Structure formats: C-alpha cells, structure tokens
Amino acid sequence: MESCVHRIEVHYSTDPRLKMRTSRIRSLGFQIDELHLIDVYTIATSTRDFSKTELEDIGTQLVNPVVQKFLADIPTKIPFDYAIEVGFLPGVTDNVGATARQTIEDFFSLKFIEGEAVYTSQLFLVCGTLSPAELQKLGATLANPLVNRLLIRTRAEYGDKGMDPVVPVVHLDELPTAETVNLDIEDTELARIGKEGIVDSSTGQRRGPLALDLAQMQVIRNYFESQGRMPTDIEIESLAQTWSEHCKHTIFASAMDDDVPNGLYKTFIQAATNKIRAEKGDKDICLTVFTDNSGAIIFDDTYLVTHKVETHNSPSALDPFGGALTGIVGVNRDTIGFGLGAKPCINFYGYCVGDPDYDPALFRGKNKSMPILSPRQILDGVVRGVGVGGNCSGIPTPQGWCWFDNRYAGKPLVFAGTVGVMPREHSGRKLYEKEAAPGDLIVVAGGRVGKDGIHGATFSSEALDPKSPVTAVQIGDPITQKKLSDVIVKEARDLDLYRSITDNGAGGISCSVAEMAKECNGCHVYLDKVPLKYHGMAPWEIWISESQERMTLAVPKEKLDAFMSLMQSREVEATVIGKFTDSGKCVVEWHGNVVMDIGLDFLHDGVPKKHLATTYTQKTYPEPESSCPDRLDATMLSMLQRKNICSKEFISIQYDHTVQGGHVLGPVQGIGRVQAEATLTKVVPNSKKGVGLSQGLFPTYSEIDPYLMAGAAIDTAIRGLIAIGVPLDTIAILDNFCWCSSDEPERLGQLKLAALGCYDYAVAFGTPFISGKDSMYNDFSGFDADDNPVKVSVPPTLLISSIGIHPDVTKSVSMDAKIKGDLVYVIGETAEELGGSEYFALLGGIGNTVPKLDAALLKTRYGGLTDALSYELVASAFPVSHGGLGIALAKVAIAGQLGMDITIPSNMRPDYYLFSESLGRFVVTVAPDHKRAFERICGADAHLLGRVGGKDLRITSGKILLDLPVADLTNAYKAPFRGY
Amino acid sequence: MAVAVQQNAPQVTGLTRQSATAMIDEKALIMSGFGINSEMETKEVLTRAGMDADIVHINDLIAGRKRLSEYRMLIFPGGFSYGDDTGAGNAYANRVRNNLWDDLLEFLDGDNLVLGICNGFQILANLGLVPAFDKHFKRDIALMPNQSGRLECRFVSLKPAADNLWTKGIERLYCPVAHGEGNLSCSKETLLRLKRQKMIAFTYCQEDLTPAYGKYPWNPNGSVEDIAGITSVDGKVLGLMPHPERAIEFVNLYDWPLRKEMMRRKGVSVPTESMNMQLFRNAVGYFR
C-alpha cells in the first residue's frame, strides 16, 4: 500500500499553549520541569512521492511562519528527557489529517487515492525526572487506549532518529459476505446468541451483544421457520438494532402490572400530551409530537421551533470526548432530520458525573485491568466534546447544567439537546411533514461508513461490563456535518429537491432506511453501493454501522440530477444506495445476492410484547440530627461551595453562546457573573419573540419519592422560564429518563411512579410533552482493586427540559439585583421540606420530606408573575431551586454585586427556612415606585423580605443570623472550579 | 475575581438613529462554506446598515458561478472554517490563495472594502491581506491560541486606536469574543510599523475605556498591546477578532438588563439598537 512516508514536525517559536498545559499536568501530580508540544503530520502516499522542495512547500502551508517552524523528515532537537507521542488508532476519525490532506491536494492540484492519507499526532517532549511508572501514568492521562496509540521514548531511545513514522492504516482480512445463522438450536445457546452475539465463523469469536432476550430470539426463529429458511447474520443484526431498547423503548412500551396494559409511554406520556392538546383547543401549541426526530411547537404565524434531548451515556463512559462530541452532533441531526430539515439554532447540555475530586479506583476487568476513567477525566472530556461540537458547527450553547454524585462514577450521563427553527411552510408545502414515495431513490449523504459505532444501539441497551465493544466508540467530524447541514437546511430544502429525510443515528442505515420505508411501505437497498472508509467490511457491519455525519433522503427520480450536482458543488458526498418501494418488505442486496428479505410489519411490529411486573417499597432514611447553629455564616459559605451549587462558569465561557446573533439572556448574568437557571435567545431576526430554555433535575429525591421527584423536575423546568417572563401557555416539556437495573421490579416500580408523576403534573400545568427519550441500564459492573465484584448504579434520574416562547424579549428580566434600595420579595410559601436537599447532604443525611406540589395553586401564582413582568414591574427574578431560598438570595446578590438586608419569619428553624427546597418560589427585586402595583398583582403570594443595598448580605430573624460581605460570598461561589 | 465595575462606566448608550436606512446600490459578498458559520447574521447587519449582500459559497467563486468583481465589499465572516485544523483560518486561506488569488488581487486594486471578523480575520492574516505593508501580501502577524488555552466566549469592550473609515464616531464597542485563537503576535518591527502607520484599529479596554494593559478578562486572549483589530496600510481592509455583528440590538448586550433598569429610573428612553451598528454604518457609509 503506502510506500512513501514523510513526517513533518511543527513547533511554535514561543508556544502560547505551554503555560496552561504545563500547569495542568502539574496539577495532576506530575513534577515536570518543562514541556514542549510538537504537532506531527505523517504523509503516506503510494502513487507519488514528494521531493524535499515539495515537502518544504507542504510545511509552509501547514504553519504560520511568523510564530511557527517546521522540520520535514528531521526530528525536533531540543533538550528533553522523555518523548510521548499520542496518535490515533487505525480507523479513528482524524479531522486535522483530513484537512491537511485537502490542503496538499489543492496546492499540488492532485487527488489522494484510497489508502493515501495524512495522519496527525502530537508529540510531548518533557523535561523532568519521572519514574517509569509515573511516565506510563502520564501517558495514560494524555491518551485514551480506545482511540489513541501511545509511544513513549527516553531521550536515549529517541537518539538522532527521533520517533518512528507510524501509519495507522486499517487492515481487514475477513471475508466480506453474509452468512446464514442456524437458530434451530437449544434455547440456552439461542439465549447466548442474543446476549453475546453471533459466533464469527472465521475468528470463532462472538461479534458483540445483540441485546435480544430469549423470547425475542424465539420469535425470530419462528419467523424464519415460517419462511422456510435460515436467517442471515445481517437479518438478525438488523432485527437486533430495530428491536433494541434504544430504538423501540421496549420497557416504556410494555404492559406493566394490571393497571398499565398499554405501557408507560402511551398511558402517561402520550396521554398527557393528548389530553392537554384537547383541553387547549385553539390554543394548542404543538405541531409535531413524538413521531418525528424532534418535537415541534409554534413559534409564531410563520415559524416553528423544534426541541430534542438525547443521551450518549455509554460511549461517553469509554471515550468522554468522542462520546459527548458525537452526542451533540448526533442530536443536531435530529434537528436537520426533523420534517424536511430545521436549522439547528441552540444547543443544550447536561452532565451527571462523579465528584471530580473522587477517585473510584474501579476496573472493568479483574486484576486491576481496564481501569475506568476518573470523574475528572470524564468531566474534562465531555465538557470539551460538547464544546467542540457546538463551536465548530456555529450553534450557540447557552443553556446547560452539571450535577455531581458519586453514583455516576461508574457510568456518567451525558445529555445533549438541540433546538431548531424552520418556516412552517415554503411555497405552499408544509415543511414539518414528509413522505417518501414508492420509486424515490434512497440517497445517503455526508460521511463514509467505517467500523465505528457498530453495536452502538444494542450496547447502550446493556449495562457497561468488560465485554463492552470498543468499536462502540466514534469521533465526530463537525465540519463534514456542517457542510451537510448547510447544504440541506440553507439550500436543498427550499429548492424542493427531496421528499423525506432522516438522520443516521443508532443502528445506522438499517434503522434510517427501514424507518423511512414505513412512509411508502418498502425499500430495496444495494448495500455494495454504500461508500466505505476502507475495504473489507462485512455486509452486516455496513448495514448497522453508526459512522457519523450521515443523513438518508428520499429523492424523486426527476430531482436526482439537481440534487446530486448541488451536493457535488458543496463537496458533500452523496450516493444512491437503492429505492423506496411499496413491496411491504425490506430487501437488501450485496453484489447481486439478496442477503436480507424481511416483511416490514415483522421488522417494526414483530417484537414480542412483554408484561412487566413491578414492586415498590417506600424507603425511610434517618433524619439528620443537628441543631441550628447560632450563626449561619459558615453554613452559607459551605453551601455556596457545594459542587451542585457553586459556579461552573468555566463550562459556559468555553461554549460559544453568541453565534447566530440571538443572545438576550445568557448562561452567566450580572456583573458578578452567576450561572442562570434559564436563558433566552432570539432565533428569528426582526421578531420580538425569543426562545427560553430551562430544566429541572432532582435525582436525590428519587429514592425517597419518585412521584414527587417528577413533580419537582417539572415545576422547576417550568418555573425557570416563568422567571424570565415566558408565559405558561407557551411552554412545552421534554422527558429523559435515565434509569438503572431496569430488570428489577423495584426499579420498575420507581419508574412507574415517576411516569405517573409526569402525567399528573404535566396535565395540571397544561405543559405538553413533545419529545422524550429513555436510557434504562445505566449500571456499571466491574471490580474493585481487590477483585471484588462491584456494581455501581446511577440514581433513577429524570431530566425535564423546557422550551417556551417569550412574546417580547425587551421585557425579559435577568437574575441580578440591580439598584440599591430595591425591595426584595420571595414569592411563594416555604415549608420544612429538606428530604434529599443539598442542606441535608451537607449535614451528612438524606431525610424523607421531599417538597410537595399544588400545581393548580402555582398556575395562578405564575400567571401573576407573568403579568407583573409584562407590565415591567420587576427588576430581577430568580427561581428558588437546589439549596433553597438562602442560596437564591446569595446568588441574586452575587450577580448584582450588591448587598441585601433581609428579615425572615421566625416560625421555623432558621437554617431549615433558608435551605428548604420547597417548590414554586421565586426571589424578585422591585423598584420602590412599583411596590403597590406589584403587590396588587402578586397578592398574598409575595412576601417582602427586605432591601437591596450595602456591601453585605445580612439575614436577620430576631437576631442576626448571617452577615457576610458579597465579596466573600462571591469567592465561595467561585472557588471550587477555579483553575478548571 | 473579575468583576467589572459597571456602575462607574460612562453612559455609552449607543445610537438613537433608528429611522429606516436607504439602501445603496453597491453590494457586498459574504463568503461561506467549509465551516464558516456567521454569514446569516452578517448579512442581516449589513442590510440594516443599508447594503444588500449575497452569501456566496467559495466553490461558486472558484467554479465561476459568481464573480467577485460584481461586488464592492468582501466579507470573511466568523466561523470555524475547517475546524481550525492546521491553525485557525489557515486551511481556508490556503483554499483562497490556491484558487482565487488573481481575482482577489484585482479586487484589492479597486476602491473596495474587505472585512474579516474572527475566523475571517484569521483568514485575512494567513492570506497576508493585513497588514500588507508595501502591498506585500505575506504573513506578518499570527493569531495564536489564547493564553487560557481554550475558546473564550464573553463580552469585551473595544476602543478605537486610529481614525479611519471604520472607527468614525465610535467611542466604544461592546460585543462578544468567541475564539480559541485570537492572541495576536508579531515581530517588534511589525508592531512598530503597525503603530507608526496607525493601523491598529481597535484595542481591548476596560469598561471605562482605560486600557486593558494585557490583563484578563478585559484582554481575553493575551494579544500584544491589547490589539483586537488592525487594518491594511490604506485602511480599506479591516480584520477584527470580536463580533460586533452578534450584538447589534440593545438586548444583545451582556449588561442590557442592568442598563435598561438604570435608564428607566432616570426617565431615559431605552434604545433598540446597540452602539455596535456604527461600525457597519461606517462601512456602508464609505460608498454613500
């Protein structure tokens, strides 16, 4: 293959990155004296070589000579002790390498042929004294063994030759055919195929989990018996993808106990939306719910907005950066694949991870093999991944959150969401409807297919254990997707060049094509037409691969030429891989042989119904034993430093939240820069309206009362939007259930209660669910350092995300106290509700009394605040959430860098009053001139607590409880993540 | 703790001119493709300033489907062209140089304007369109990775450092930066020439217009002498790291809720437009 290999090493004259990189490495405990970073390009060609002069030209194209220098085929020679090179493993996406290749092609007017490429790697030249063990450990923090190759050399080994040029080319030698699989076997063996995968005839090894249980395997066996033949591997793999928990949501679809015969989804989620829509009548805000890739609500007479929140938990546990990156660009495609293509206009994120100061020391294998990544590594990786995805795609990322609990140390949860915007109609065509027609061509556009992401859908339906396949990991290429997104939503859509579109996510084309085939009742695919990253892939792998950045479209024959030439002009690869039919079947050919022929009804509806039984045991926890301290100054500072309360601004500022020009209320607010609960963004220029986003999440309440946990999440998601001025009747919500051990009746019992809570409170507030997703097995099974089996399960976690339309963004309010002398109110009642609270956690307890909720009462209260905001009577508003009223007051003061003088009632223990997490409350500040008008509207709900002013937050209840300079509060609030 | 002392800042409230602006006949070309991403908001702001703009994919220029010579202003907007691979703006600049160089030289010879914002500035720098001393289009400056080592998105204050067609009537700009590589670096000789020939257009400053003195967060990236933007020798090419086009309405400004409240208490009417529009009115005004 490649015969000519050249290596170009680039370094800065004065490297601006070194200060941060060095201190970061030191902060991880490595005593290094000095660090140098070298960017390496390895050029591998076979059809032509590059001369010395040509390599000089190439080097010049790859650097800025003002600050950088390069060496072609000469190793960098500066003083150092160790050289650590981190490159990619074969087949891993190398975006920088691809760009360098294009630049070289452009410069010399040539095209690299298959097998020729540019590969990048980074060389760390380290000065200092490290033991061999420390050196290995340092290497491990720089490279993830699942995606990176690592080469470590001492100065002596480096010698005059430097590092070897490494060409990570993919070599595959398996036989690329479809094989038949005999299912006429014992049930134990049948179950084993479902659990561990088909045995590969060439290697004798299992191909990886199908996540099909015995009942499902038996149905598959019966189907093919009735067809009078044995199934092929591709047919079984395809059924496994389509029937996966990830795609079919079997737990939410199954009958449960005697009282939920139609399953949780239909009974509690869909039914809530149906009821709300019927009750709202003409005021229904929903356009498309549950059926498309995203949910859509009305923005105004001309536009709609979509929202969708996905999780990417299992991939992020293995490769946090790649997992989070593909999570966010994946959900971007749920926007591009909504209707005929909405434009992604806001990204949203959420991370549940272990405490970054905690080292769980857990292993996926015995004998301390395959250590799991530390919470710190996971946090760093996922933060960076979502950032790179959004920043490179030009999508602002204002709204997000981060939650810490060591029960997420085995498996983190990574939520990624995207809001899209689209005209409701174009040239008389409804853009939110789509239908492939028989005879339309199946076109795949975007990136090429490799082995990456194989078994992603089935893998995420299983708990994480040593057999997790590494091919489940993938690195996204946001620029390839950006090109695809631009040409679809900014050009092809409005030229009416296709009839239907969907994204390739879980299950790859096996799911996207089969899903679209429902619209016309059939498809016929020529699998050998699919463009590949490298040769040697088996048909089943091509069919289910989850390689990123691909959309599937239905293009009418007469539009094909126009479509293809547009794609070509934008350098987006598009390929016809088959046609849609009305045969009622999904037929796949491979080099002229039919390798799959399954009825669409069996493929989509053949999955056997389950009947799940649940149990529920009310748990009780001891109440923390403590008395109220005399003064609460120290308590307040400790509360502000809790990781779930303090500032995570380092995330907000590395995410571009201003691109597209719609920034109104951003992720941090006020001159004191406090992270807000809700953000507001304009998505249609020249409209007064804006899109508000917020969320609610209370995993600490789940084990106490899952029903009220769901209520707290819904109320908090709604209340965040009410506080900035979004009216209740424009708000829609999304559900993401991330459960654990969902084969245990107790866990299912909690799930059932949470789903019932979703129904009751969504209906009571009148806020419809428009989209949702669930991830049911967020458990880690492995070993501790002494080889004891360990299972770490996430707490049952429900994220409720909210979206609403602000009618006039100029009347929205931020959270910061603004003017000295303004009145401070709390709206709503405070009860002694501290079960699962941050305060009880500080005291080392859990407790039992989680906040109750009277939605009917709150609806009236929220209407009052909405009116007060629309009359511009309120200077700031902030919802009371985790940490309670005391924390809300402190945050409002810090944001405004203004003190407050507060008096609280004395009928409750003062610490309980300040840190109770009772729902339905806001802290607002009001100009004295507006006192009467404000109180008339908000009535008895508004309690005057004091005034803004001075430099201290002072809280009194008979005596002074707390008197702290705002500067001290600010320091405490910002301390924990300073330096991240 | 980086808390800005906003209360003491001068009342730079932006413009009051809000009447419909007459459109000029000249048109602007806004480049797109390969990860450029701010083309739509850039077109919007130009329209508001009175100039029609076409968003043109670079491949349409290369293929001759569109011609640069039909336009009077060329804009390289913000984005992440080629994902910042091989250095921000470098790969896109290579594509321009390898395919459109002659058209570009002809355009620069005419009485035309060129504006590069953020990634656009990085492209201009790699093309050598700024500073372009003696009309030599070679790379004399570099926009290096930020000192913080990562992308930084926050509002910054800018003040004009030269009187030129872009800075007319501007006291202060207040707009976001959102870049990972904006740390301007050059040789001592280049810096001296930039200063002597009044080519430093904008510098980062504190809210009260005192210099940032290289201090974070006012200078968000470590740029030498707080430089945020420079022009070519004749002033017709401007490269600017921050994004005035992203904050053209009053409600786009980071501190608008506080400003609004202060204005209302004083009985001052709240503007709808921000001070950042003036930069674009100046550019369009060049052709009036």
Q: Which residues of B touch A486 (CB under 8 A)?
A: 32-33
CA dihedral A84, A90, A95, A100 (to 10 degrees): 80
Give residue A462's pLDDT.
55
Whether residues A820 and A895 share a domain: the answer is yes
Residue A943 parent element (H or E): strand A942-948
Q: How many domains does chain A have?
A: 3
Q: How far apart are CA A500 and CA A563, in angstroms?
A: 13
What is the distance in angstroms between the Cα of A646 and the nearest Cα belonging to chain B?
Answer: 14
Q: How far apart are CA A587 and CA B267, in angstroms?
A: 72
DSSP letter at A728 equals: G
Mean pLDDT over residues B227-240, rounded?
97
Q: How far apart are CA A104 and CA A122, in angstroms?
A: 20
What is the bridge-based pairing of β-strands A500-503 and A429-430? unpaired
Annotated catalytic residue within B41, B44, B118, B179: B118
Domain containing A150 — which CATH number? 3.30.1280.10
What is the distance in angstroms between the Cα of B9 and the nearest Cα belonging to chain A?
Answer: 12
Domain containing A923 — which CATH number? 3.90.650.10
Judged by CB atoms closer than 8 Å, whether chains meet at A672 and B3 is answered as yes
Mean pLDDT over residues A121-133, rounded?
94
Residue A298 parent element (H or E): strand A295-298
φ/ψ (deg, to 5) at A188: -65, -40
Q: How far apart are CA A504 and CA A375, in angstroms?
A: 30
Neighbours of A806 (CB within 10 A): 25
Q: How far apart are CA B127 and CA B95, in angstroms?
A: 10
Give residue A873's pLDDT.
98
Give residue A464's pLDDT.
52
Domain end residue (candidates: A230, A247, A264): A247
B245 counts as catalytic? yes
What would you report as the CA-atom Rg of chain A, rounded to the nearest whole angstrom?
29
Residue A69 parent element (H or E): strand A68-72
Facing A103 at nearest CB: one of B40, B80, B86: B86
Whether residues A823 and A967 share a domain: the answer is yes
What is the bridge-based pairing of β-strands A593-599 and A585-590? antiparallel
Give residue B163's pLDDT.
96
Read off the tokens for A24: 């970061």
Q: Which residues of B touch A666 (CB under 8 A)?
A: 254
Q: pLDDT digit string (tens) for A918-958?
A: 999 999 999 999 999 999 999 899 999 999 999 999 999 99
Is A95 touching B (CB cutoff 8 A)?
yes
Q: pLDDT digit string (tens) for A896-910?
A: 999 999 999 878 999
Whether residues A853 and A976 share a domain: the answer is yes
Give residue B13's pLDDT.
41
Mean pLDDT over residues A816-824, rounded?
98
Judged by CB atoms closer than 8 Å, whether chains meet at A814 and B34 is answered as no
Neighbours of A215 (CB within 10 A): 14
Give residue A243's pLDDT.
87
Decide if pLDDT at B18 tops 70.
no
Binned at pLDDT 50, 70 and 90, residue A968 comes out as very high
Decide if pLDDT at B8 tops 70.
no
Give residue B11's pLDDT.
40
Q: pLDDT digit string (tens) for A631-678?
A: 999 999 999 999 999 999 999 999 999 999 999 999 999 999 999 999
Residue A590 parent element (H or E): strand A585-590
Q: Which residues of A touch B80 (CB under 8 A)?
A: 391-394, 478-479, 482
Does the residue A153 lie in any domain? yes
Least confident of A97-111, A213-227, A526-540, B164-178: A526-540
What is the bridge-based pairing of β-strands A441-446 and A550-555? antiparallel
Q: pLDDT digit string (tens) for B187-205?
A: 999 999 999 999 999 999 9
Structural domain of residue A41, as residue ranges? 4-158
Whether residues A100 and A207 share a domain: the answer is no
Does the residue A754 lie in any domain? no
- Residues of chain A with pLDDT > 90, as a percent, come to 78
Q: Which residues of B touch A9 (CB under 8 A)?
A: none
Q: How far apart are CA B102 and CA B105, in angstroms?
A: 5
Q: pLDDT digit string (tens) for A32-50?
A: 999 999 999 999 999 999 9
Domain end residue (candidates: A103, A137, A158): A158
Whether residues A123 and A221 share a domain: the answer is no
Read off the tokens for A477: 């290429």
Q: Can you say whether residue A461 is alpha, beta or left, with left for phi > 0 and alpha for psi between -120 and 50 degrees?
A: alpha
Whether residues A858 and A948 share a domain: the answer is yes
Per domain, the residue ranges of chain B are 22-285
Binned at pLDDT 50, 70 and 90, residue A447 comes out as confident
Interface of A with B in 409-468 (CB under 8 A): none
Give residue B14's pLDDT.
41
Judged by CB atoms closer than 8 Å, whether chains meet at A658 and B34 is answered as no
Q: How far apart are CA A432 and CA A445, in angstroms?
A: 20
Does the residue A834 lie in any domain? yes
B225 counts as catalytic? no
Does the residue A59 lie in any domain? yes
Could you give the ipTM of this predicted complex? Answer: 0.93
Give residue A962's pLDDT.
97
Mean pLDDT over residues B135-142, rounded?
94
Decide if pLDDT at A470 tops 70.
no
Give residue B3's pLDDT.
41
Q: How far apart are CA A30 and CA B42, in angstroms?
A: 46
Q: pLDDT digit string (tens) for A750-794?
A: 999 999 999 999 999 999 999 999 999 999 999 999 999 999 999
Give residue A144's pLDDT.
78
Give residue A432's pLDDT.
95
Does the residue A499 lie in any domain? no
Whether residues A26 and A145 share a domain: the answer is yes
Binned at pLDDT 50, 70 and 90, residue A465 comes out as low
* DSSP per-residue codes, A588-647: EEETTEEEEEEEHHHHHH-SPP-EE---------PPP-----S--HHHHHHHHTSTTTS-
Neighbours of B272 (CB within 10 A): 14
Give residue B20's pLDDT.
59
Residue A137 parent element (H or E): helix A132-142
Q: How far apart are CA A253 and CA A154, in angstroms?
A: 58
Whether residues A821 and A970 share a domain: the answer is yes
Q: Are A615 and A746 in contact (CB under 8 A)?
A: yes
Q: Are A579 and A524 in contact (CB under 8 A)?
A: yes
Judged by CB atoms closer than 8 Å, whether chains meet at B252 and A970 is answered as no
Q: Which residues of B touch A872 (CB under 8 A)?
A: 264
B153 counts as catalytic? no
Does the residue A89 lie in any domain? yes
* Interface residue of B45, B80, B137, B277 to substitute, partner A, most A CBs within 10 Å: B80
Does the residue A629 lie in any domain? no
- Residues of chain B with pLDDT > 70, as a percent, come to 93
Residue A645 parent element (H or E): none
Q: Are A916 and A832 in contact (CB under 8 A)?
A: yes
Q: Are B144 and B178 in contact (CB under 8 A)?
A: no
Q: pLDDT digit string (tens) for B262-281?
A: 999 999 999 999 999 999 99
Q: Which residues of B touch A61 (CB under 8 A)?
A: 86, 90, 94
**CATH second-level architecture of B22-285?**
3-Layer(aba) Sandwich (3.40)
Read off the tokens for B275: 């001070």
What is the distance in angstroms between the Cα of B201 and the nearest Cα belonging to chain A?
Answer: 21
DSSP letter at A265 equals: I
Does the residue A420 lie in any domain? no
Read off the tokens for A959: 């005596």
Interface of A with B in 350-389 (CB under 8 A): 387
Mean pLDDT over residues B75-94, rounded?
93
Facing A970 at nearest CB: one of B1, B141, B183: B1
Of residues B107 and A170, more confidently modeled: B107
Q: pLDDT digit string (tens) for B51-61?
A: 999 999 999 99
